[in-house]
Structures are given as C-alpha cells and as structure tokens.
Amino acid sequence: MTSATPLLPEITSDQIKQLTSSQCLAQPLPAPILSACFKQSPEDFQVDELLEVGLSGEGEHLWLLIKKTAMNTSFVADQLAKWAKIPSRDVGYSGLKDRHAVTTQWFSLRLPKGKLPDISFDEFAKAHLTADTESIEVRQQTWHSKKLNRGTHKANRFVIRLTDIELNPKVAAAPATVDETLTLISKEGVPNYFGEQRFGRQGNNIVSALEWFEQGTINGRPPHPKKSRDAQSLLLSSARSAIFNQIVSARVQLGGWNTAIDGDVFNLDGSGSVFCVEQIDQEIHQRLASGDIHPTAPLWGIKNDKVSEAAKALEDKVVSQDAVLQRLAQGLEKKQLKTMRRATRLAVSDFSWSWTTEQADKPSLVLQFTLPTGTFATSVLSALVTHLK
C-alpha cells in the first residue's frame, strides 16, 4: 500500500470497537467460560518480573527489587527519584507494570557517590501512599556497574484469579471441560494478540493516531518534537497493533495462525530472529508443530518485502478491505517506519491452574503461567473467557 488516497470519512465508535475489542477477535475454539470477574482486587492479578542479570555488587547504580500493590511503574520511579534526590533520567526499569495489580520488579538508581538517603525507601514511600490498597516493599538491593535499561527482562510470571465464573453451557458442562481447554492452551499456545490496553480507553489511541497521521496534531495541538516522543511512539505502536491483530484474526479464521501459509515469514521461538524458506517442507511443519518456530504477521510499515505469495495476499487483503486499517497503514508508511514481524502464536510456559470452591455454584480459578516480554496475559484469558468483568 503505497499509493495515496483521499481522506476517508470520519470513523464511528463501532468501527473503533471492531478494531480494538478483544471480543471481536477470532479464537481457535469457543471459550468454555462465558463470563468471569477479573481484577476485583490487586491480589487477583500478580506479576513477577523474571530478570536474568548477574549483579556484581559493585558500581554506582543501586538496584532495588520492589514489590508494590496498586501502584504503576512510573509512579514508583518518580518516588525513587525524589527519595534519592536524583534526576528522573537516572532511574532505570525494564518494563511497565499495571497499577491494578501486585507486581514485583527491579529498578536502578545512579548514585555516583554511593551514599544512600538517611531514611529507607520503604519509610519514604509509605509516607506518600494515597490509598489503603497501596503498599510498597523493597525485597532486595545490591550495587551494579550499569543502569537497568528498558527491555532487559525476558519474561513475566503471572498469577491470575478469576471469580464469579459462569460456564458457557454450549461448550462446558463442568469445570473439567475448562480443564481440557487449559490443557490445549498449555500445549498449543494462543493467538498472540495485543491486549485492549494497547489501544487506550475506548480505543482512543486509534483516533489520536489518525488525527496525527492526517492532520499533524495530537489532541488538537502540534506535537512537541522532544516532549511528545513517548506519545508519538505509543500512537505508532497502537496503529501497528490494530493492523497486526486483524491479520492474526483472519489467520485464525482460516486455521493458519499456528501453521504455515505459502510465502510465510517465520520467527525462531524465544528470539527476534525471522527467516523465509523457498519451500514449506516437512521439516518446517515439524518445527511449527513442536513450537520451535512460529508464523509471523507484520508490524506495518515500509519495505514489507520478506513476505510473499498467499501470506502477503492475505495481509494486503485484510488491510484493503477495512477503511480504517487503510488509513492507519498509509499513516505508518508516511512516517517511514520499516516493517517488523511478530509471531502469530504465543507460547504459554510453566502453565498450571487450580479450582477453589468459595462459592459452590460459581467456583474460582487460579491460573499461573510465564510469558515473554511484549506479550499480553489477556491474550490467554481471551481464549478462555468470552466476557471479563
């Protein structure tokens, strides 16, 4: 898609919902749970960052492993900067964690003189709590020679509790039927969709992306070249995510989200490496079945030249048949982003689950699993539950 087309009419809320709601994305099998409550309390959603870095115990960067409840990453980073009286740029972290959760993650602080404040961070932070649900605790601290940079950790461990579960009578007559789906997910994974949170409240990031692409403004104002970099990056990511999700959804409907299509580009599991093959042979099929490699779909941009044949035709068809996707694709191309590839399948590692019977008629389900960074726990939940409340 390189030819320019006239500006299309304004989009509707229904069009945005169709592109951003997880309920509108195809799933390989009907969800066995019709509805369930999710995140009724922070303890219902627990995330532990899995960081594999050998910390030296020496250097000018203080690394802290912090467990926090009902606090997002940015807030804690700001509090750390105030506590240590250092610029925000000298506080490092690997990934952003949800506020409505209990999360454990590493932070680093550059302290060239190696001197800590007189008051502990636990005491300082507790004095700034704004709600009874909030809590914070330093679990571990050590010195290291380098700052903690974004994307350093490779995986997250989740513990998720679903309550008030109502089974889908058309699919699951009893929790044992849900177990069958969970077993299948543990073996085959789920479609690697971006979660709804990527698109903002009511999909507003997509509307803002179109405004920026077509009018040069964000929320009615020209973006500042430096101060709005994070906002621009988010909008680019949201636009790419919407296109990616729709292409994956189309592959799910065709039964090709975890199998090969002619012209596919493949991803080596656990890496960012992608490759093409001249012919899809038995070895490729075997590697796909074992989870060693995965098919990919595009994070849209220019130079989408690796994909070919039926796979390329499918990707182009999905975009060309949706007016909003056309506009997003054209905007991304004008920004000169180079196409990247992302696996269409999300492998779920170390997956286990257990049922509790706090309510005899509506049992609770606790899920535990590990996912690589950049993927979404809600992708697992969407394959299991039709409506999350």
User: Token pair for residue 171?
Assistant: 């699919």
pLDDT tens profile 184-242: 999 999 999 999 999 999 999 999 999 999 999 998 899 888 888 889 999 999 999 99
Residue 1: what pLDDT? 44
User: Token pair for residue 291?
Assistant: 């989870």
Residue 6: what pLDDT? 40
* Residues in CB range of 220: below 8 A, 6 or more apart: none
With a pLDDT cut of 90, the percent of the chain lying above it is: 83
Measured distance between the N- and C-terminal CA atoms of the chain, rounded to whole angstroms:
39
Distance CA 101, CA 42 (A): 4
The number of beta carbons lying within 10 Å of the beta carbon of residue 317 is 12
Residue 225: what pLDDT? 81
Report DSSP state, residue 226: T
Residue 2: what pLDDT? 42
pLDDT tens profile 61-109: 999 999 999 999 999 999 999 999 999 999 999 999 988 999 999 999 9
What are the angstrom distances between the C-alpha of 108 and each of 7, 120, 137, 149, 180? 46, 15, 15, 9, 43
pLDDT tens profile 340-365: 999 999 999 999 999 987 665 678 99
Distance CA 7, CA 198 (A): 25
Residue 351: what pLDDT? 97
Residue 51: what pLDDT? 92
CATH superfamily of 13-37+166-346: TruD, insertion domain (3.30.2340.10)
Please enumerate, as own/partner, the contacts of 313-316 that have beta carbons within 8 Å and a separation of 24 or more.
313/263, 314/247, 314/250, 314/251, 314/254, 314/261, 315/247, 316/1
Mean pLDDT of 118-143: 90
Please tell me the number of Cα atoms within 13 Å of 320 on its side-chain side: 9
Residue 3: what pLDDT? 41
The answer on pLDDT for 7 being more than 50 is: no
CATH of domain 53-153: 3.30.2350.20
Question: CA angle at residue 231 from 230 to 234, to 5 degrees?
Answer: 85
| Strands 33-38 vs 190-191: parallel, antiparallel or unpaired | unpaired
Concerning whether 322 is annotated as a catalytic residue, the answer is: no
With a pLDDT cut of 70, the percent of the chain lying above it is: 97
Nearest to 158 by CA among 48, 67, 44, 52: 48
Phi, psi of 244 (to 5 degrees): -55, -50
Place of tokens 């900067």: 81
Give the CA dihedral 54, 60, 63, 64, nearest 10 degrees. 150
Residue 220: what pLDDT? 86
**Please, which residues bridge with residue 93 across strands?**
107
Residue 359: what pLDDT? 63
Q: Which of 14, 78, 90, 98 is catalytic?
A: 98
Longest dimension (CA), the chain: 65
The angle that helices 309-320 and 229-254 make with each other, rounded to 10 degrees, is: 120
What are the angstrom distances between the C-alpha of 8 and each of 5, 11, 27, 387? 8, 8, 30, 33
Task: Determine the distance from the C-alpha atom of residue 20 to the mean position of all C-alpha atoms in its chain, rounded to a whole number.
Answer: 13
Least confident of 172-186, 266-280, 328-342, 350-364: 350-364
Query: What ranges do the domains of the chain cover?
Result: 13-37+166-346, 53-153
Residue 360: what pLDDT? 58
The residue ranges of DSSP E strands in the chain, in sequence order, are 33-38, 45-50, 61-69, 91-93, 102-110, 135-144, 155-167, 190-191, 265-268, 274-276, 293-299, 340-343, 345-346, 349-356, 364-372, 385-388
Q: What is the mean pLDDT of the chain?
A: 92
Place of tokens 């989740």: 158
Binning pLDDT at 50, 70 and 90, where does residue 4 land?
very low
Place of tokens 């964690």: 97
The answer on pLDDT for 127 being more than 90 is: no
